[in-house]
Structure 1
Amino acid sequence: MMVSSQQASRARLRRHLVSRCLVTAGIVALAAPSFFIPAAHAADDAMRVGVLIPGSKTDKGWMESGYDGVVAAQKEFGPKLKTQVIENINYADMEQALTNLASRNQLVIGIGGQTQAAVLKIAKRFPNVKFSIVGGNKGDNMPPNVAGYDVKQAEIAFVAGAAAAMLSKNGAVSYVGGMEIPSIVNAGKEFGNGAHYVNPKVKYFESYTGDFDNVAKAREATAAAVAQGADVHYHILNLGLRGLEQAAKEKNTHIIGSYTDRCGSDPLYVAYSITGVGYQAQFAIEQLEKGQWQPGYKAFGLAMGPKASGMVICKSTPAMDAKLKQIEEDILSGKIKVSEG
């Protein structure tokens, strides 16, 4: 029988996808686009949670923090929890990835607001499956089986800006965002506002690469800010962070990390903002286990405590800590107004 080159190509693709399937420590990690691989539910009573990570789970940023929360839940619940993780998915494939996850799991978690549009669409097709969006925003026509968890990035970005102004020796700080969407732009705006709150004369440089994962553009944006005197940098990036790190290291400047406290792990980082991405992922799983999972919008942020949102300066002073604590209290009381998102 004659086999066309197109059929042969598809066969090779299927073999390639199967070779990319990895099962470890109760976590099923499917490398993109391996969501085409069929699988049946196992006949046990374990909770089944699917997780969509659009970027890399080792990006030292949002995606890794979200994955850390899944791993923490796996350690918490052990064999009671079975997780299926799909990572490195582009926008065109998100709906298909979510369909795969929803067909196999009780709960599906989308890591990042960029999953929201696809989640809202696919959730309508799976009314008996629960969906949680980590980094979700208030949305119209949210299905009754979807929860949106708002990390309130703008809120903690204000505090990070204040910390950056305290730490800057040159009186100049910078912010690099990925996609120029409202939540990312609001965070950049509030980072600048926080810096000016502490030092009205501070120079602030704000830029967007258009892509959370573009290393070259992040490096270029940071280098441009460094050339104008910026010596403390903040970001909302995924793999693009590597470019920011390269530019900062070359000129002996420093970074305020995002999402997780890793003080002491790298001298390039002088502080960390905690935005609770992993905390939210773990929260969704814990709520499922307790039978308390609820749909709808839920704001996290400073009001939810230090695991959800906070600021850590690695070599802080009592005066710095007191100043940051007061700023956080003033945000919570409404004395300091910050943007939504």
Structure 2
Amino acid sequence: MRGSRVRAVIASAAVMSLLLTACDGSESSGGSGAPGERRQPDVNGDGKVVVGILSPGDTKDGGYYQSFVDDANKIARAAGWEVRTIDRVNPADALTQARNLCRQRVDLIAVGAGELKDALTAAPEDYCQGVNWYVNSGSGIAQTEYFAQSKDVINQTLYAAGYAAGLLLQRSGGSKAGYITGPELDFAKQGARAFETGLRAVLPKAQLVVTYTGSFDDSAKAKEAFVAQRAQGVGIVYPYLGGATDAVAREANLAGVPVLTPGTDRCADSTVRYAVSVVFSPGTYFAAALDEFRDGTLKMGTTRLWTLGVDPVPTVRICAPEGDQQARLDQVMKDIGSGRLDVDAAVAKLR
């Protein structure tokens, strides 16, 4: 009788041990626990780590969109991971492409920009269970438990970019700047307002010529826009573009018009000359998230805010500053980071 009781106790303990193991998920191939507690980096336990990337732009544009995959590939190669990239994704196809990546048993899906936010709606679906999600959201997407995101504040960075443009125009005696972008999307329009506000902080009577070409990547349309703006007398130009950025820069170089970058530091570029690097590289943000993913500390349901004047990026750098130009710009960025300068209020006042 005593032996039967002992065996019952042992059996009960064994069952409890199995239940604890199952709850812990350490032996599970799916890793499908609570969204904030998913195993990383080999989430599905298949012995390999695969990162899927969805980008709305050309990941060979030499700038913003390319930085996202370049930094991912550096980390992936060092860790022995695989990266699968799908670029030029139409926002209308984002959800379908995300589901396709889930069916390929990827461990992490990274969404390169907020335009593809619909991809995130796949996260709770059955075949995406256990997958980790990351999005570079720009100005931010409503946070849920299923993904981690990085964001910056467009008003901060574009105000500082406009301020830098104002400093260069002040030195050259100009009073008109150009802003060339793609579709007339909310973030592009907001960027123009912030840029103009920063410009006028230096030159109160400065004018900004804004052109929407309908495409971030169409070089012919972008060059046509610059030629038209140059005829209107712009003395500096900001191609807030993707793949068409360098096309505008080359035309501006020929015309002797200074150019700003949209996202990456290209002051040392030997093929195209840039006067100002406006750095809000999504690759830098993504690299920080991948470091956490590698270490098993990337938490779903969280947002990391990158602040101008506080974090290393975003930032704005004048490539060949004269006099106190960079010092003045640095002070503005510090004032933004500390809250001494309320750029949101300043942009809201723009008429």
Task: Measure, in 2, the Cα distance between the counterparts of 1:318 and 1:282.
Answer: 35
Is the 2:309–2:335 Cα contact (8 Å) retained in structure 1?
A: no
3-state SS, counterpart of residue 260 of structure 2 = strand
Partner of 1:298: 304
Q: Aligned-pair distance for 1:287?
A: 1.5
Alpha-carbon spacing, 1:318–1:249, altered in 2? closer, same or farther (3 Å): closer
Match of 1:283 among 282, 288, 296: 288
247-256 or 183-192: bigger deviation: 247-256
Is the 1:54–1:88 Cα contact (8 Å) retained in structure 2?
A: yes
Partner of 2:53: 51
Is the 1:153–1:275 Cα contact (8 Å) retained in structure 2?
A: no
Cα RMSD after superposing both structures? 2.5
Alignment of 1:1-341 (within 5 A): 45-75=47-77, 77-79=78-80, 81-103=81-103, 104-116=105-117, 118-125=118-125, 126-140=128-142, 142-168=143-169, 169=172, 170-265=174-269, 266=271, 268-294=273-299, 295-302=301-308, 305-306=311-312, 308-317=313-322, 319-339=324-344
Is the 1:178–1:212 Cα contact (8 Å) retained in structure 2?
A: yes
How high is the TM-score relative to the length of structure 1?
0.79
Task: Measure, in 1, the Cα distance between the counterparts of 2:214 and 2:320.
Answer: 33
Alpha-carbon spacing, 1:320–1:303, altered in 2? closer, same or farther (3 Å): closer
Instruction: Tell me the percent identity.
Output: 25
How high is the TM-score relative to the length of structure 2?
0.77
Alpha-carbon spacing, 1:45–1:233, altered in 2? closer, same or farther (3 Å): same
Task: Name the structure where strand makes up a greater proportion of residues.
Answer: 1
Q: Aligned-pair distance for 1:242?
A: 4.1
Aligned residues: 296
Q: Aligned-pair distance for 1:82?
A: 2.1
Letter in 1 for 2:150: Y
Is the 1:275–1:301 Cα contact (8 Å) retained in structure 2?
A: no
Letter in 1 for 2:222: A
Q: Aligned-pair distance for 1:247?
A: 3.7
Q: Aligned-pair distance for 1:143?
A: 3.4
Letter in 2 for 1:313: I
- Spell out, residue by residue over 1:250-274, the C-alpha distance to the aligned partner (whole angstroms, 9 max, x if none): 4221211122212131453111011
Task: Measure, in 1, the Cα distance between the counterparts of 2:183 and 2:304.
Answer: 23
Q: Aligned-pair distance for 1:289?
A: 1.3
- Spell out, residue by residue over 1:159-184, the C-alpha distance to the aligned partner (whole angstroms, 9 max, x if none): 11111112232232111222322222
3-state SS, counterpart of residue 255 of structure 1 = coil
Task: Measure, in 2, the Cα distance between the counterparts of 1:178 and 1:55.
Answer: 12
Partner of 2:13: none
Is the 1:173–1:231 Cα contact (8 Å) retained in structure 2?
A: yes
Where does the alignment leave 5 or more consecutive residues of structure 1 unmatched? Answer: 1-40
Q: Aligned-pair distance for 1:190?
A: 0.9
Q: Aligned-pair distance for 1:129?
A: 1.2
Where does the alignment leave 5 or more consecutive residues of structure 2 unmatched? Answer: 1-42
48-57 or 323-332: bigger deviation: 48-57
Q: Aligned-pair distance for 1:288?
A: 1.0
Alpha-carbon spacing, 1:46–1:286, altered in 2? closer, same or farther (3 Å): farther
Partner of 2:9: none
Partner of 1:8: none
Q: Aligned-pair distance for 1:158?
A: 0.9
Task: Measure, in 2, the Cα distance between the counterparts of 1:193 and 1:47.
Answer: 45
Q: Aligned-pair distance for 1:136?
A: 4.5
Alpha-carbon spacing, 1:166–1:267, altered in 2? closer, same or farther (3 Å): farther
- Give the number of the structure whose alpha-carbon radius of gyration is greater: 2
Task: Measure, in 2, the Cα distance between the counterparts of 1:188 and 1:129.
Answer: 37
Letter in 2 for 1:287: E
Letter in 1 for 2:115: Q
Task: Measure, in 1, the Cα distance between the counterparts of 2:317 and 2:227.
Answer: 25
